[in-house]
Structure 1
Amino acid sequence: MERNVAFIAWMDGEGWTAPDLAAELNTAIGQSTGKPGTLSDVTVRKWRSGETTWPRIAVRLALEAISGRTAPDLGFADRRRKTRTPPEDPMLRRSFLNTTIGASASFVMAGPAPSVGTSDVLRLRAQLDSLRSLDDHRGGHDTLEQAALAGAQEAARLQAKAATSRTRERLFSLAAAFTAAASWSSIDAGRLDGASRHLDRALTLAGLAQDPEMVMQVWNLRAMLARQREDYAEAVASAQAALATAIARRSPLHASLAHARVGVGLAHAREARAALNCLGRAEEALARTDPAQPCASWIAFYGPAELHSLTAIVRDIVGDPGEAEAASHRALAVLPDAYRRNRAYTTARLALAQLHQGDAEQACVSGGQVFGIMAGTPLPGRMRRLLGDFQRELLARGPAALASQWTDRHRSEWSSV
C-alpha cells in the first residue's frame, strides 16, 4: 500500500487538517445533493495512506470542486478494476458543479439558498486569479486596485455567514490575498502612500486566517515597497521576516524568493558580498524545489526566470553590468509569455546593464523594445520610473545625438501608451 503523495502534498500545501477537510466536503456534498455527507477524519486519513484509492463519485466531485484539480491529479485511481471504469453520470457531474460554483442551487435542489461555503470560496478565488492575470499582462493601475479592494470587502463580509470554521478561515485568507493584490497594484503603479495601509490590513487578515502563506506574501510585498521608497534597511528587515515565516522554513520555493529579496535589499545597501551570498542561497533553495508540486497562485510567478531577473538587478547594483546583462538574457529566454509586464521590466533592466557597459546604442534598442512589449496599455508607474532612470543616465553617459534621438522617441511613445 503506497501513500497518496499528491493528495498529501495538496492537503499540506493548502493547510487542511483531516477533520476540517471532511467537514468541508460534507457541506459541499450537502449543497449538491440535499443530503449532507457523512465523511470523517478517518476517511481522509485512509485517502492519505492509500488504503482508499478511489472515493465514490459524489465525494470525488466535491474534492474536485474544493481543490480545483481532478481526482487523478490528486493521486486517486480505480486500481480495483482491470477493465475501463464506466463513464460517470454527466447529469450528476453537471448538477454538482453548477451548485458548487454558485451557478444556481435550484438546479439541484429546491428551497432556500445554502449558507456561505465552498461555492463562494471558489468564486472569489476565480476572481482573484483573474485580477492576477490582468496584473501580469498590464501591471498595476487604479481599476485593478479598486477591484481587489472590492473583493476583499466581499470576502470579509461573507466570512460572518460561513458554514464552517474552515470556510471562515479560507474567506479571511482570500480577504488578505485581495488586499495584498491591491497593495501590489498600488506599488507597481507608483502610488506608494496607500500601499502600506493595505499591507497593514492584509497582515491582520492573514493572522485571522491563520495562514502562514499569506503572512509570507505580505512581508515579501513590504520588502518591495521599502525598496521603492529607498528605505533599504527596512527592505532587508522585511525580506528577513519573510524568510522567518513557517512557510519559508518548510518550502524551498518560498525560501528562495525570500533569500533573493534579502539579496536585492543588501545590494542597494552596498553590501555586495552579503547580497551575492543571498543569491547563492536562493539558487540552492530553488534547485531543491519540485516543479511538479502545486504552489499558491500568488507565488506562481517565481521560478528560474524571476531569479535570473533579480540576479540581474543585484549584479548591476554591485557593479557587475556584464553579469547583469547575461542574467537578463537568461531571464527573458525562459520567461513565460503570460508575464508581459515582467518581460517589459526585465528588458528595461537589460537596457540599463548595457548602458552601464558603455554600449549606449544597443541600450537604446533594448529600451525602445519596452514600448513595443507594452503597446496598447499605459506603462505602470514603477516601469516609468525605471525608464526615467535610464533616460537620465543616457543623457549623462551616451553620445549627445543618440541621447537626444532616444529622448524624442521616448517622449512620444511615453504619451501614446
Structure 2
Amino acid sequence: MATLRNATLEAWMKEHGYSSNSLAEAVNSAVGDLTGRVGGLDGSSVRDWKAGRVRWPKSATRVALEKVTGLPATALGFVPRGRAPSSGAAASQEDPVERRRFLTAGSALAAVTATPAAGSGRRVGTSDVIRLQRRFTEIIASDHRHGGRLGIEQKATALADEALALQNSGSASQRVRARVYACAAAFRSSAMWASIDGRRYDDAMVHMREAQALAELAADPAIKFRIWSHAGTLYRHLGRPAEAIAANDVARKLAITRRDPMFACLGHARQAACHGLAGDPAAVQRALGSAQDALGRADLELPLPVWMAAVRNGAELETLALAAYLSLGDFERAESHAHRSLALLHPHMQRDRALNTTRLAHAQLGQADIEPAVATAMSIPPDVVARHPRITGMIREFGTKLRATAPSSSLTGTWNEYARGSLRNIA
C-alpha cells in the first residue's frame, strides 16, 4: 500500500518559510523548553513526516510542534494511530479526546514544572485518585479479556494524560499529587503492556520511557516494579535476553521485593523466562526455585495490586515457567506447567488462557504428540486467534512446525483444511 504524503504539512512549511532542517531545529528547541533536554530531530525526521512515513509523531514532539506552529497535530495533516486519513475540513477537526491528549502529552518533566491555574478554586483530592484507580481497574479487566488491542493502548494513554491534566486543574497536597502521578504511571505502564502484547514494540518503548519518568515523580515502588519488569518482558519479546535480564534485575532489586514475597515471586519467575530465552537451564531452575520459595513465604491474605491477581494463586508462576521451558525446548516440562497454569487461571483471564493453550499445543508438538497437539490448537476459538497478534503468530508457527514434523500425516491434512476454512489461512 502506497504511503500518503502529508501535503498539509508541506504547504504549511512552504507558507511559513521552513526547510526540513530549520523546522527540526525549531521543534528541538521547543522540546528543550518543555523538558529541559533538547530534542534529537534532524532534517530526515521532518522529511519522514512530509513523506507520510511517520503519520503520528511521539507525544513530546507533538507538544513541541504545537508550540512552534500554533496548530494541533491533526491540523498539520498528522493522523492518530488506528485512524484512517481523512480529507477536507474534517482533517482539521481533532477529536476532543485526541486534542486533550495532544495538549497534555509530553514528558513527565514538563508536567511537573507546570503550575495549577491561578484562582481555579479547585481542590484535587482523594476522591479524584479513587476515580482514576477505578478506571485503572477497568483497563486491567479489558487487558485480561482482550489482550494487546490498540484501543486498550489508546484508552490507557488518554487516561494517563487525563491524570496529568488533573495535576494542573487545582491545588493538592503533596501526597495526593504523588498518588495522581502514580495513576498516570500505571496507565502508561498498561499502554506499554498493550503495545508489547500487540507487538507494537516501537510504541512500547515510548510508553516505557514516559512511564519510568512518571514513576519517579510518584515514588511508588509497586508501579516502578511493574514498569521495569514489563521492560524485561519487552526486551524478551525483542529477542534481547541480556537487556531483558538487566531490566528485570532493576525490578527484582527494588526494596518492595524484600518487603513483599509476592513481588519477589513475580520478579524471580519473570527472570526465569528471560534465562529461558538465553538458553540457560540451570539459571531457569534456580529462578523458579526462588520464585516458589517466595510464594511459600507470602501472606495470601494481604491486599495486592489488581494487576497481580494471577500471582497469588501461582498461575503467573506456572505461566512463566511454561514460557521458560518452551524457550529451552524442554517440551515435557513445558507441557506440565501448561496444564497447571490452565487449571489455575481465573475464568476472566481469557487472553492468558488462549496464549497458554497455544503454548501447550507447541509443547505437545515438540514431543511429536501430533493428535493432542492438533486437538489443542483447534480448541482455541478462531476469533481469538484472528484478533490477537501474539496468538496469530504462534498459531502460524504451529502450522509450519506441524507440516515439517509430520508432512504426510492425515492430521496435518486435517489441520491444513481447518486453517484454510476457520482460520482463513492464518495458519
CA displacement at 1:367 relative to structure 2: 0.8
Distance 1:411 1:230, change over 3 A: farther
CA displacement at 1:348 relative to structure 2: 0.6
Cα distance in 2, alignment partners of residues 411 and 224 from structure 1: 33
Cα distance in 2, alignment partners of residues 139 and 416 from structure 1: 22
CA displacement at 1:343 relative to structure 2: 0.5
Is the 1:199–1:222 contact (alpha carbons within 8 Å) kept by the matching residues of 2?
A: yes
Deviations 1:307-356 (A, max 9, x none): 11211222233232112111111111121101011011110111011001
Deviations 1:67-87 (A, max 9, x none): xxxxxxxxxxxxxxxxxxxxx
The aligned residue for residue 241 of structure 1 is 250
Deviations 1:352-392 (A, max 9, x none): 110011101110110111226x65x8532122222222122
Moved more, 226-235 or 397-406: 397-406
Deviations 1:264-316 (A, max 9, x none): 11111111111111111111111111221101112223241121121122223
Is the 2:248–2:271 contact (alpha carbons within 8 Å) kept by the matching residues of 1?
A: yes
Cα distance in 1, alignment partners of residues 290 and 412 from structure 2: 39
Is the 1:371–1:413 contact (alpha carbons within 8 Å) kept by the matching residues of 2?
A: no
- What amino acid maps onto 2:417 in structure 1? D
Is 1:355 equivalent to 2:391 in the alignment?
A: no
Cα distance in 1, alignment partners of residues 310 and 121 from structure 2: 37
Is 1:159 equivalent to 2:167 in the alignment?
A: yes
- What amino acid maps onto 1:313 in structure 2? A
Cα distance in 1, alignment partners of residues 420 and 208 from structure 2: 34
Is 1:138 equivalent to 2:146 in the alignment?
A: yes
Which of 223, 229, 237 is equivalent to 2:232?
A: 223
Which of 144, 162, 178 is equivalent to 2:187?
A: 178
The aligned residue for residue 309 of structure 1 is 319
1:253-264 matches, within 5 Å, as 253-264=262-273
Moved more, 206-215 or 394-403: 394-403
Is the 2:129–2:179 contact (alpha carbons within 8 Å) kept by the matching residues of 1?
A: yes
Distance 1:294 1:200, change over 3 A: same
Is the 1:224–1:235 contact (alpha carbons within 8 Å) kept by the matching residues of 2?
A: yes
CA displacement at 1:263 relative to structure 2: 1.0
CA displacement at 1:404 relative to structure 2: 3.6
Cα distance in 2, alignment partners of residues 217 and 225 from structure 1: 12
The aligned residue for residue 388 of structure 1 is 396
Cα distance in 1, alignment partners of residues 342 and 180 from structure 2: 36
Cα distance in 2, alignment partners of residues 327 and 143 from structure 1: 31
Is 1:116 equivalent to 2:128 in the alignment?
A: no
The aligned residue for residue 17 of structure 1 is none
User: Alignment partner of 1:294: what SS?
Assistant: coil
Count residues in correspondence: 304
Is 1:265 equivalent to 2:270 in the alignment?
A: no
Is the 2:157–2:191 contact (alpha carbons within 8 Å) kept by the matching residues of 1?
A: yes
Is 1:202 equivalent to 2:246 in the alignment?
A: no
TM-score (norm 1): 0.70
User: Alignment partner of 2:298: what SS?
Assistant: coil
Cα distance in 2, alignment partners of residues 410 and 162 from structure 1: 58
The aligned residue for residue 296 of structure 1 is 305
Is the 2:419–2:425 contact (alpha carbons within 8 Å) kept by the matching residues of 1?
A: no
Cα distance in 2, alignment partners of residues 141 and 257 from structure 1: 24
User: Alignment partner of 1:116: what SS?
Assistant: coil
Is the 2:123–2:171 contact (alpha carbons within 8 Å) kept by the matching residues of 1?
A: yes
User: Alignment partner of 2:423: what SS?
Assistant: helix
The aligned residue for residue 76 of structure 1 is none
Cα distance in 2, alignment partners of residues 252 and 188 from structure 1: 26
The aligned residue for residue 414 of structure 1 is 423
CA displacement at 1:415 relative to structure 2: 4.5
The aligned residue for residue 293 of structure 2 is 284
- Measured on the aligned residues, the alpha-carbon RMSD in Å equals 1.9
Cα distance in 1, alignment partners of residues 391 and 258 from structure 2: 32
Which of 346, 363, 373 is equivalent to 1:336?
A: 346
Moved more, 321-330 or 194-203: 321-330
The aligned residue for residue 5 of structure 2 is none
CA displacement at 1:249 relative to structure 2: 2.2
Cα distance in 1, alignment partners of residues 171 and 390 from structure 2: 38
The aligned residue for residue 135 of structure 2 is 127
The aligned residue for residue 318 of structure 1 is 328
| % identical aligned pairs | 36
CA displacement at 1:142 relative to structure 2: 1.0
- What amino acid maps onto 1:216 in structure 2? F
CA displacement at 1:405 relative to structure 2: 2.6
Distance 1:162 1:181, change over 3 A: farther
Cα distance in 2, alignment partners of residues 404 and 192 from structure 1: 35
Deviations 1:4-30 (A, max 9, x none): xxxxxxxxxxxxxxxxxxxxxxxxxxx
Query: Comparing both chains, which one has the higher relative contact order based on Cα–Cα distances under 8 Å and sequence gaps of 6 or more?
Result: 1
Where structure 1 has 5 or more consecutive residues not aligned to the other structure, the ranges are 1-111
